[in-house]
Amino acid sequence: MTRETVVNAALTLGLLIVPMWALMADEPFIITLATRVAILALAGVGLNIALGLGGLVSLGHAAFFGLGGYAMGILASHAQSYTPLITWPVGIEGTTSMPLIWLVAVLAAGLGALVIGALSLRTSGVYFIMITLAFGQMLYYFAISWPAYGGEDGLSIYLRNGFPGLNTLVPIQFLALCYGLLAIALILSARLAASPFGLALNAARQSAARVQAVGLSPYRLRLVAFVISGMITGLAGALFADLNRFVSPTMFSWQTSGEIMVFVILGGVGRLFGPVAGAAVFIILEHVLGGISDYWHIYLGALLLLIVLFARGGLIGLLAGKAAHHG
Amino acid sequence: MSPILLIEQVLNGLQFGMMLFLMSAGLTLVFGVMGLINLAHGSLFMIGAFAAAAVAAATGSFLLALVASLAAAAAAGALVEVLVIRRLYARDHLDQVLATFALILIFSEGTRWVFGSFPLFLNIPPYLSGPVTLPGGIEYPLYRLTLIAVGGLVALGLYLLITRTRLGIRIRAGESDREMIAALGVDIQRLYTLVFALGAALAGLAGALVGAIQSVQVGMGEPVLILAFVVIVIGGIGSVKGALVGALLVGVTDTLGRALLPGFFGLFMEPSAAMSMGSSLASMLIYILMAVVLIAKPSGLYGATV
Amino acid sequence: MGDPILSVQGVSKSFGALAANRDISLDLRAGEIHALIGPNGAGKSTLIQQIAGGLRPDSGRIRFLGQDVTHLGPARRAKLGLARSFQVSALAMEDTVLQNALLGALGARGGAYRFFGAALKDAGLRQAAEEALSRVGLLDKAALQTATLSHGERRQLEVAIALTLRPKAFVMDEPMAGLGTAGSQQLTAFLDGLRAEAPILLVEHDMDAVFALADRISVLVYGQIIATGPCDDIRANPDVRRAYLGEEA
Q: Which residues of B touch A269 (CB under 8 A)?
A: 94
Assess whether C63 and C140 both reside in one domain.
Answer: no
Check residue B73 and give its pLDDT: 97
CB atoms within 10 A of CB B45: 33
Check residue B54 and give its pLDDT: 95
Maximum C-alpha span of chain B? 68
Check residue A13 and give its pLDDT: 87
Is pLDDT above 50 for B37? yes
A298-323 pLDDT per residue, tens: 998 998 899 888 877 777 777 877 54
Q: What is the percent of chain A where pLDDT is above 70? A: 98
B193-251 pLDDT per residue, tens: 999 999 999 999 999 999 999 999 999 999 999 999 999 999 998 888 999 999 999 99
Answer for the pair C140, A189: CB distance below 8 angstroms, yes or no.
no
Residue A264 lies in a domain: no
Check residue B306 and give its pLDDT: 40
Check residue C247 and give its pLDDT: 56
C210-239 pLDDT per residue, tens: 999 999 999 998 888 998 999 888 888 888
Partners of residue B137 on adjacent β-strands: none
Domain tally, chain C: 2
Is pLDDT above 90 for A294? no
- On whether the pTM is more than 0.95, the answer is no
Residue C86 lies in a domain: no
Assign C224 to helix, strand or coil: strand
Assess whether C74 and C172 both reside in one domain.
Answer: yes
Nearest-neighbour CA in chain B from A116: distance (Å):
9
Compute chain B's Rg from CA coordinates: 20
Assess whether C212 and C249 both reside in one domain.
Answer: yes
Nearest-neighbour CA in chain A from C7: distance (Å):
19
Split at pLDDT 50, 70, 90, the class of A324 is very low
- The residue in chain A having the minimum alpha-carbon distance to the alpha carbon of residue B31 is A126
In terms of residue numbers, what domain contains C152? 91-166
What distances in angstroms separate CA B252 from CA A44, B7, B231, one per listed residue? 37, 11, 12
Residue partners of B4: CB distance under 8 A and separation at least 6? B136, B137, B138
User: Rounded to an integer, what distance in angstroms lies between the CA atom of residue A226 and that of residue B286?
Assistant: 23
For chain B, say whether A305 makes contact (Cβ under 8 Å): yes
User: Which secondary structure element, helix H or strand E, spans residue C225, and what is its range?
Assistant: strand C224-229
Q: What is the mean pLDDT of residues A218-226?
A: 97
Check residue B79 and give its pLDDT: 96
Assess whether C193 and C162 both reside in one domain.
Answer: no
Q: What is the mean pLDDT of residues A281-307?
A: 89
C157-214 pLDDT per residue, tens: 999 999 999 999 999 998 888 788 888 888 899 999 998 899 999 999 888 889 999 9
Angle at B225 between CA B223 and CA B228, to 5 degrees: 115
Residue C244 lies in a domain: yes
Assess whether C174 and C68 both reside in one domain.
Answer: yes
Check residue A198 and give its pLDDT: 96
Residue A267 lies in a domain: no
Q: What is the mean pLDDT of residues B88-109?
A: 93
Is pLDDT above 90 for C101? yes
Assess whether C71 and C190 both reside in one domain.
Answer: yes
Hey, of C97, C98, C99, C115, which one would you mutate to test binding to chain A, going by the most A CBs within 10 A of its CB? C115
Split at pLDDT 50, 70, 90, the class of B4 is confident
Find the CATH number of the domain harbouring C2: 3.40.50.300
CB atoms within 10 A of CB C180: 12
The ipTM (two decimal places) reads: 0.89
Assess whether C46 and C58 both reside in one domain.
Answer: yes
Q: Which has more pLDDT, C88 or B12? A: B12
Q: Which residues of C touch A53 (CB under 8 A)?
A: none
**Dihedral sign, CA of B176, B178, B179, B184?**
positive
C24-79 pLDDT per residue, tens: 999 999 999 999 998 888 889 899 999 999 899 999 999 999 899 999 999 999 99
Assess whether C198 and C238 both reside in one domain.
Answer: yes
- Are 3 or more Cβ–Cβ pairs between C and B shorter than 8 Å? no
Answer for the pair C142, C119: CB distance below 8 angstroms, yes or no.
no
> Which residue type, as a one-letter code, is found at position C93?
M
Assess whether C134 and C211 both reside in one domain.
Answer: no
Residue A271 lies in a domain: no
Q: What is the mean pLDDT of residues B73-79?
A: 97
Check residue A106 and give its pLDDT: 98
Q: What is the percent of chain A where pLDDT is above 90? A: 63
Q: What is the mean pLDDT of residues C20-25?
A: 91
- The residue in chain A having the minimum alpha-carbon distance to the alpha carbon of residue B28 is A126
Assess whether C117 and C214 both reside in one domain.
Answer: no
Q: Which residues of A touch C115 (CB under 8 A)?
A: 188, 191-192, 195, 197-198, 228
B306 and A123 in contact by Cβ < 8 A?
A: yes
Split at pLDDT 50, 70, 90, the class of B179 is low
Assess whether C173 and C249 both reside in one domain.
Answer: yes
Phi and psi of A271, rounded to 5°?
A: -85, 135
Domain tally, chain A: 1
Is pLDDT above 70 for A281? yes
Angle at C191 between CA C188 and CA C195, to 5 degrees: 145
In terms of residue numbers, what domain contains A85? 3-253
Q: Which has more pLDDT, B271 or B181? A: B271
B280 and A130 in contact by Cβ < 8 A?
A: no
- The residue in chain A having the minimum alpha-carbon distance to the alpha carbon of residue B303 is A127
Per CB distance under 8 Å, which residues of C are interface residues toward A? 52-54, 73-76, 78-79, 83-84, 86, 90-95, 99-100, 102-104, 106-108, 111-120, 122, 125, 161, 164-165
Across chain B, mean pLDDT equals 90
Q: Which residues of C touch A198 (CB under 8 A)?
A: 115, 119
Nearest-neighbour CA in chain A from B249: distance (Å):
16
- Name the residue facing B108 among A134, A147, A297 (closest C-beta): A297
Check residue B62 and give its pLDDT: 94
Rounded to the nearest 5 percent, the helix, strand and coil shares of chain C are 40, 25, 35
A125 and B93 in contact by Cβ < 8 A?
A: yes
Nearest-neighbour CA in chain B from A30: distance (Å):
26
Assess whether C25 and C140 both reside in one domain.
Answer: no
User: Rounded to an integer, what distance in angstroms lies between the CA atom of residue C206 and that of residue C186?
Assistant: 13
Split at pLDDT 50, 70, 90, the class of A35 is very high
Is pLDDT above 60 for A327? no
Check residue A325 and give its pLDDT: 44
User: Rounded to an integer, what distance in angstroms lies between the CA atom of residue B225 and that of residue B242?
Assistant: 16
User: Rounded to an integer, what distance in angstroms lies between the CA atom of residue B89 and that of residue B191?
Assistant: 13
Compute chain C's Rg from CA coordinates: 18
Q: What is the percent of chain C where pLDDT is above 70? A: 97
